[in-house]
Structure 1
Amino acid sequence: MDFNVYLLATDPNNSCRDIIHSRDTHLKIRVFCLDSEQFDPDSNEIQLYGYAGKKLYAFETIGIMAEDALDVVSAIQWYAEYIDFPQMEILPDDPRQGNHIAV
């Protein structure tokens, strides 16, 4: 069974601006901390959301390719483990817009 290896690029000036990279594919995902920064979704990309405690994250692909779309969730699950919140629920819609069941 193949497993993707993920790498993380961090911004030294913004602890909330990470980019998840897949070592073996073209997948890249930008991380946003919605509690502290503005997020304007790109309609050409995939966006998913997740809570780590009370902190809400948005995850948006960068230049998504069809063959990488299935790996988006596993990359986010890897990131949740990285931030020590493996139980993060991954949401398809921005919960701030009232499009989900309350957490």
Structure 2
Amino acid sequence: MDYNVYLLATDPKNPCRDVIHSRDTGLKIRVFCLDKEPFDPDGNEIQLYGYANGKLFAFETINIAPDDALDVVGAIQWYAEYVDYPEMEILPDDPRGDKNIAI
């Protein structure tokens, strides 16, 4: 069974600035904590959203390649396991509606 291995780059000065990296592909996903920072989606990237422990996260790809698009959900599921919330609900749209500012 083939599966990707993911790594996490963290910013010690900002716990809301994680970047998920696929070891085996070029996939990179930036994580945003929407309760602590603004988020302005990039129209050229894929965005997904997730609730974990009462917090809303945005996940945005970085320079997405067509071959990596199918792995985005798997990477987010890996991150959900990593933050000890495997039942994270992954959403295709921002549940806040048109708001792209921190709550």
TM-score using structure 2 length: 0.93
TM alignment of 1:62-81, pairs within 5 A? 62-81=62-81
Verify: 1:7 aligned to 2:7, yes or no. yes
Question: How far is the alpha carbon of 1:54 from its aligned partner?
Answer: 1.1
Identity of paired residues, percent? 79
CA-based RMSD of the aligned residues comes to 0.8
Distance 1:29 1:69 in 2: 11
Which runs of structure 1 show a deviation greater than 3 angstroms over 4 or more consecutive aligned residues? none
Distance 2:71 2:54 in 1: 25
Distance 2:62 2:12 in 1: 20
Distance 1:38 1:13 in 2: 17
TM alignment of 1:1-103, pairs within 5 A? 1-97=1-97
Deviations 1:35-85 (A, max 9, x none): 000000000000000000210000000000000000000000000000000
Consecutive unaligned residues in structure 2, runs of 5 or more: 99-103
Distance 2:72 2:3 in 1: 13
TM-score using structure 1 length: 0.93
Distance 2:48 2:26 in 1: 18
Distance 1:51 1:79 in 2: 12
Which residue identity does 1:20 align to in structure 2? I
